[in-house]
Amino acid sequence: MLEIRGLSAAIEDKPILQGIDLTVPQGEVHAIMGPNGSGKSTLAYVLSGRDDYAVTAGSVTFDGRDLLAMAPEERAAAGLFLAFQYPVELPGVGNANFLRTALNALRRSRGDSELDAVQFLRLARAETKRLAMPEDMLRRNVNVGFSGGEKKRNEVLQMAILRPRLAILDETDSGLDIDALRIVADGVNALRGPDFSALVITHYQRLLEYIVPDRVHVLAGGRIVRSGGPELAHELEAKGYAGMLTEAA
Amino acid sequence: MTAALQRGVAGFLARYEGLRDRLPGDPRPRAEAADAFRRAGLPGATSGRREEAWKYTSLRPVADATFQQPVAHPAGDSRLLARLPPLEAPRIVFVDGEFRPELSALPASLDFARFADRAEYGRLARADSEPLVALNTMLAEDGALLSVPDGVDAGLLLLVSVATDRAACHPRHLIHLARGARLSLLELSFGDGSYLHNPVLEVVVGDDAALTHVRLQNEAPTAFHLSTVYAEIGERGEYDSFGLNLGGRIVRTEAHVRLAGIKGIAHLNGAQLLGGTQHADFTTVVKHDAPSCTSRQTVKNVLAGRSQGVFQGRIEVARVAQKTDGYQMNQALLLSPDAEVDTKPELEIFADDVKCSHGATVGELDADQLFYLRSRGIPDDEARSMLVRAFLADALDAVTDQAVRGVLEHAVEGWWERQAA
């Protein structure tokens, strides 16, 4: 489903990604782990189409389509979703209005009919409840005045409503206490199935206790240096990045 | 003087000479205004002469335009009514500056008279210092004299001014709220073609009275809109105004508000949405002349194309006006690299126990916010429009009447559709 070949990217002429090769087959959840500065967030941004990164080499295909040639909204329409590490605040934009606009834009692009306010609220309220979020979260402005945990849960709520085919979770676990972590993980696990894939980016192994990945990749210095099964996360936890990177070198 | 100035000013003076024996009311203030206008001319139209109050706005295009006596309109042109917002409220309608009873629905709970029948000038607007007041005073033929009696809540009233091609209208309105009276006034100006709207409003808000004054300026793209408001607020009185500037080629809305009694409140909020080569100037002067008064101003500019937005805000705090609370904020969102905003805040404070602040921000759409919306599948143009609306939202929140705010929101939608086209 997602095929990354020799991907290199730079920001302001500073190379960050230096030849990433990664395949995420349909229905699988892969984790990317790596130390700070290894390029994890850059990879997430490049895949979702942020234009301040320049792709200097390589290719990315999504269901056989050239992902890098698509605008961010086209990538979303194709089924890509990025849960932001730092969700953006949108003062003056109501959360429900934002979600409905996004959902209807996606439905339009797929040739589905748009949901009216009543239909949408029914759906949104159900998902809000499932994620144990207060219902007033829908009435508030997007992420404005939300705690760190609420912002992350709002990302998962968006994901639950927009139903992507490939979700990229960029350190969604950072700043979450154990209860929130479990709720977020449940939200992701509820989407798991043959039509859902995910790329879970995390610094810690902790999240992977709850979202058990099919494969784990270690990113360092802008490259995938090791790949393995879920046990690789435990190995990392035991040895630390430094220990593992010395071994890999 | 340049030929252009002579043509513009001479044209208005010639009209005055031609009409003077038929103009209503006392001829003396008109004659004095004509002298003042002859001396001052139209600001910016004389090369080499610069006035500080008109630093960013030149009326040379007005001086260069030609206006003519509009043709008489058939009575009962109800197509105009279709252009009014669907509000259940009385309305006073002027077409090319003339009151049109057959298009109006007069209010029951306040007194209304025509300026044409009872030409009263207030004591607030100064023809000797304001060239546009001079021009208006010289040529005013009609207007609304509104008076809300003691303690009466007159509800919502529409004051509508429509103009047609080549018309030059100088409506003169006088609004008086007696002690404890209340009125919500929605003023609408629009029209077709190249014309000039030059209204002057004098507003007296009595003790404990409250006037909500919402102005929707949605003139034709080739029109000129120059309006001047003078308001005086009594003890514990409240003047809550909001001006939305959407249309017009050259626009200046100028308001002078004097807080004359203890604990008065003045809100001079507004927004300007400009595109193309539009120029709009939002100028305010607030005089704190009594203790413990509050003034609030939040003015937002959304500027596309090669438009230019101007905000000039002056707060004057007299020595007696202790415990003054003044706040002023001007924010601009530039949607194009060729758009321009000019901001000139001025504070002049003679009292020592006051709280006055002002601020200004200029920015473009936030790239992080835009990317966030697009990453959720919202197309670029829709995402931009959402962010502009969000920028405007807290300005429009100042308009608390839901129906009136709905009218403004609808007008903003229309503006957005015109920009997208």
Is the CB of B376 less than 8 angstroms away from the CB of A90? no
Across B69-74, average pLDDT: 68
Q: Which of residues 14-53 of A touch B (CB under 8 A)?
A: 48-52
Q: Give residue B13's identity as a one-letter amino acid code.
A: L
Share of chain B above pLDDT 70, in %: 95
Is the CB of A84 less than 8 angstroms away from the CB of B372? yes
Does residue B414 register a pLDDT over 50?
Answer: yes
CA-based torsion, A75, B421, B412, B231: positive or negative: positive
Predicted local distance difference test score (pLDDT) of residue B4: 44
State pLDDT tens for residues B284-294: 999 999 999 99
Share of chain B above pLDDT 90, in %: 85
Q: Is A146 on the interface with B (CB under 8 A)?
A: no
Q: What is the 3-state secondary structure (H, E, C) of A86-109?
A: CCCCEEEEEHHHHHHHHHHHHHHH
Helices B131-139 and B27-40 cross at an angle (nearest 10°) of 140
For B385, the closest chain A residue by CA position comes to: A93
Predicted local distance difference test score (pLDDT) of residue A168: 97
State pLDDT tens for residues B181-234: 999 999 999 999 999 999 999 999 999 999 999 999 999 999 999 999 999 999
Residues of chain A with pLDDT under 70: 247-249
Q: Is B402 on the interface with A (CB under 8 A)?
A: no
Please, where are the H alpha helices in chain A?
40-48, 72-78, 95-109, 117-130, 148-162, 178-191, 207-210, 231-248
Is the CB of B374 less than 8 angstroms away from the CB of A90? no
Query: Out of A52, A76, A87, whose CB is closest to B377?
Result: A76
Does residue B352 register a pLDDT over 60?
Answer: yes
The domain locations on chain A are 2-248
Chain B nearest C-alpha distance from A122 (Å)? 20
State pLDDT tens for residues B365-409: 999 999 999 999 999 999 998 999 899 987 898 999 999 999 999
The confidence band for B1, taking pLDDT boundaries of 50, 70 and 90, is very low
Q: Is B421 on the interface with A (CB under 8 A)?
A: no
State pLDDT tens for residues B312-345: 999 999 999 999 999 999 999 999 999 999 999 9
Nearest residue to B195 via CA among B96, B331, B73: B96
The domain locations on chain B are 28-38+83-365
Nearest residue to B227 via CA among B204, B247, B206: B247
Cβ atoms < 10 Å from Cβ of A74: 17
Which residue is associated with the tokens 């909001």?
B242
Predicted local distance difference test score (pLDDT) of residue A174: 85
Which residue is associated with the tokens 């320049």?
A54
Cβ atoms < 10 Å from Cβ of A69: 10
Chain A nearest C-alpha distance from B128 (Å)? 44
Residues of B with Cβ-Cβ distance to A163 under 8 angstroms: none
B1 vs B187: CA distance, rounded Å: 36
State pLDDT tens for residues A42-93: 999 999 999 999 999 999 999 999 999 999 999 999 999 999 999 999 999 9
Q: Give residue B83's identity as a one-letter amino acid code.
A: R
CATH superfamily name and code, A2-248 = P-loop containing nucleotide triphosphate hydrolases (3.40.50.300)
Predicted local distance difference test score (pLDDT) of residue B2: 41
Please check whether residue A62 is in contact with residue A26, taking contact to mean a CB–CB distance below 8 angstroms. Answer: no
Query: Out of A52, A87, A102, whose CB is closest to B378?
Result: A102
A151 vs A144: CA distance, rounded Å: 9
Nearest residue to B16 via CA among B197, B209, B170: B170
Predicted local distance difference test score (pLDDT) of residue A159: 95
Across B38-43, average pLDDT: 92
